Amino acid sequence: MISREERLKVLEMLQEGKITAEEAARLLEALEATPSPKTPPPPPTAPPGGSGRWLRVRITDTDTGKVRANIRLPLNLVSAGIKMGMRFTPEVEGLDVNRLMDFIRSGETGTLVDVFDEEDGEHVEVFIE
């Protein structure tokens, strides 16, 4: 289990620009996967009916079916990113951050965004798993 200090250190490195968001996500995932001597490691994905642990963004080319982007971030990184981002942009049009944070904290899984962009030929999916 990752300690609060380890998580904060990774987020500080991200904020200082020493690592990218992708590197931070991999570090947090690796730290989370490291078993402690007292507890077994958590399962890699949430079990059916369990709480969501990942935010996934997948963009697929609608013509070829080929995945253009497939990004998976730990929810705790997303929560921290939202909190940091709100300091710089307190209002984003059409986004209720409190409602989004409540949904993340609820542990529910499911689709947040599922859009077909006919003009660009893309299918964009954002979901919690």
Specify if 45 maps to a domain. Answer: no
The pLDDT of 72-86, averaged and rounded, is 76
Asked whether residue 32 falls in the same domain as residue 61, the answer is no
pTM of the model: 0.50
More confident residue, 103 or 42: 103
Give, as one character, the DSSP assignment of residue 49. T
Q: What is the pLDDT of residue 66?
A: 92
pLDDT for 58-69, tens place per residue?
A: 999 988 889 998
Q: Which two tokens stand for residue 104?
A: 């993340």
Specify if 43 maps to a domain. Answer: no
Asked whether residue 69 falls in the same domain as residue 10, the answer is no
At 79, which helix (H) or strand (E)? Answer: helix 75-88
More confident residue, 17 or 79: 17
More confident residue, 2 or 47: 2
- DSSP string across 81-123: HHHHHHHH-S--TT--HHHHHHHHHHT--EEEEEEEETTTTEE
Specify if 66 maps to a domain. Answer: yes
